[in-house]
C-alpha cells in the first residue's frame, strides 16, 4: 500500500514538473514574407522543422519593399517595411522555430537583416482556430520580423534607399515563382478559398519594377530547380562513393564485397 502511494506521488511530481516546464517554455515564431512559405524550401532548411506550426497571417502597418539587392545572385529581394500611419498590411506566415536555434538563424541573416520582436497585436489571422490558439499562448509567445539593415548590408548586398530609382535591378521570375507558389500552397493547405492568394496579389508591390525572365537558368538559389539540382549532385556523390570507395574500404578490412 505504501509502495503504491509512493509510486503515485512520484508520478504526480513528474507530471507536475513536465506541466510546469511546458508552461514555461517560450514559443518562438518568425514572420516569413517569402521563401519559407514553399514546402520545398522548408525541406532545404535545417532550422524550419517539417512539423513546424505554419500560420497564415497579415502583418499590419507594413508594405512589401523591393529594397535588397544581392550582387552575386543578381537578385532583388522584397522585405517587410513598416510605414508610420499606414493601415494596410502585407501577408505571410508565422512559422515556429526552436529558441535555441535563434543565434544560428541570426548569424545566417546578419549580412543584411536584424531580428526585431513585434507584438502579437500587429498580426491578423485568417482562421478562427489560429486566433484561439495564439490567444491561449499569447503570454508565452515571442514573434519576430527580420528587417533589413539600412546602413550595414554587406557581403555583396546593397540596401536600395529609393527602390523606384533602381530600374536596372530587376526582380527575377525565379524568385516570384517561389513566392507565388508559396501563396497558392498556403491558401490551399488552409482552405482559405483564395483569400490569402488575393492578398498576396494585391500587396506584391511590383508596380514600376521590371521582371527578369530567368526560368531557363534560375538565379534564386531556393528555386525548386536549384534545390533539385543540389539533390541530384548529392545523389551522384553518394553513388560515386558506393561504386568506388566502398569496395576499397571493405577490401582494407578484409570484408567481402556485395559482388563476392
Q: How many CA atoms lie within 13 A of 153 on its CB side?
A: 18
Residue 144: predicted pLDDT: 94
Supply the mean pLDDT for the chain: 79
Q: Domain limits of the chain?
A: 25-222
Range of lowest pLDDT (6-15, 231-240, 249-258): 6-15
pLDDT digits (tens, 9 = 90+) for 168-222: 788 999 888 888 888 888 888 899 999 998 999 999 988 888 899 998 988 888 7
| Three-state secondary-structure class, residue 243 | helix
CATH topology of domain 25-222: Hypothetical upf0131 protein ytfp (3.10.490)
Distance CA 81, CA 113 (A): 12
pTM of the model: 0.75
Residue 12: predicted pLDDT: 42
Q: Which three cell numbers stand for residue 188?
A: 490551399
Closest by alpha carbon to 57, among 113, 114, 95? 95
Residues 6 or more apart whose Cβ sits within 8 Å of residue 32:
92, 93, 94, 95
pLDDT digits (tens, 9 = 90+) for 81-100: 888 888 899 999 998 888 88
Phi then psi dihedrals of residue 110, to 5 deg: -65, -15
pLDDT digits (tens, 9 = 90+) for 130-161: 999 999 999 999 999 988 876 666 666 677 77
Only one residue has cell 518562438, namely 28
Average pLDDT for 11-18: 43
Q: Which three cell numbers stand for residue 173?
A: 521570375
Residues 6 or more apart whose Cβ sits within 8 Å of residue 178:
34, 35, 37, 38, 41, 220, 222, 223, 224
Check residues 231 and 81 and name the one with the higher pLDDT. 81
pLDDT digits (tens, 9 = 90+) for 209-219: 889 999 898 88
Distance CA 128, CA 126 (A): 7
Q: Which three cell numbers stand for residue 228?
A: 533539385
Phi then psi dihedrals of residue 214, to 5 deg: -125, 25
Only one residue has cell 560515386, namely 240
Residue 141: predicted pLDDT: 94
Phi then psi dihedrals of residue 144, to 5 deg: -130, 150
Amino acid at each position: 500500500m505504501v509502495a503504491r502511494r509512493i509510486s503515485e506521488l512520484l508520478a504526480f511530481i513528474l507530471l507536475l514538473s513536465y506541466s510546469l516546464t511546458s508552461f514555461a517554455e517560450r514559443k518562438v515564431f518568425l514572420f516569413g514574407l517569402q521563401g519559407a512559405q514553399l514546402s520545398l524550401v522548408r525541406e532545404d532548411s535545417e532550422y524550419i522543422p517539417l512539423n513546424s506550426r505554419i500560420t497564415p497571417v497579415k502583418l499590419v502597418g507594413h508594405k512589401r519593399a523591393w529594397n535588397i539587392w544581392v550582387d552575386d545572385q543578381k537578385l532583388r529581394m522584397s522585405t517587410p517595411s513598416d510605414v508610420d500611419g499606414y493601415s494596410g498590411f502585407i501577408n505571410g506566415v508565422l512559422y515556429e522555430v526552436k529558441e535555441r536555434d535563434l543565434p544560428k538563424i541570426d548569424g545566417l541573416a546578419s549580412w543584411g537583416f536584424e531580428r526585431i520582436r513585434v507584438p502579437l497585436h500587429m498580426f491578423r489571422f485568417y482562421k478562427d482556430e489560429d486566433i484561439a490558439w495564439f490567444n491561449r499562448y499569447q503570454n508565452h509567445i515571442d514573434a519576430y520580423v527580420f528587417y533589413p539593415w539600412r546602413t550595414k548590408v554587406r557581403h555583396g548586398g546593397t540596401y536600395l534607399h529609393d527602390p523606384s530609382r533602381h530600374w536596372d535591378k530587376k526582380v527575377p521570375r525565379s524568385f516570384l515563382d517561389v513566392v507565388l507558389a508559396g501563396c497558392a500552397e498556403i491558401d490551399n493547405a488552409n482552405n482559405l478559398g483564395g483569400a490569402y492568394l488575393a492578398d498576396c496579389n494585391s500587396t506584391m508591390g511590383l508596380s514600376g519594377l521590371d521582371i527578369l525572365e530567368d526560368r531557363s537558368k534560375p538565379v534564386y538559389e531556393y528555386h525548386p530547380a536549384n534545390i533539385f539540382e543540389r539533390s541530384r549532385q548529392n545523389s551522384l556523390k553518394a553513388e560515386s562513393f558506393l561504386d568506388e570507395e566502398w569496395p576499397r574500404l571493405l577490401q582494407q578490412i578484409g570484408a567481402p564485397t556485395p559482388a563476392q
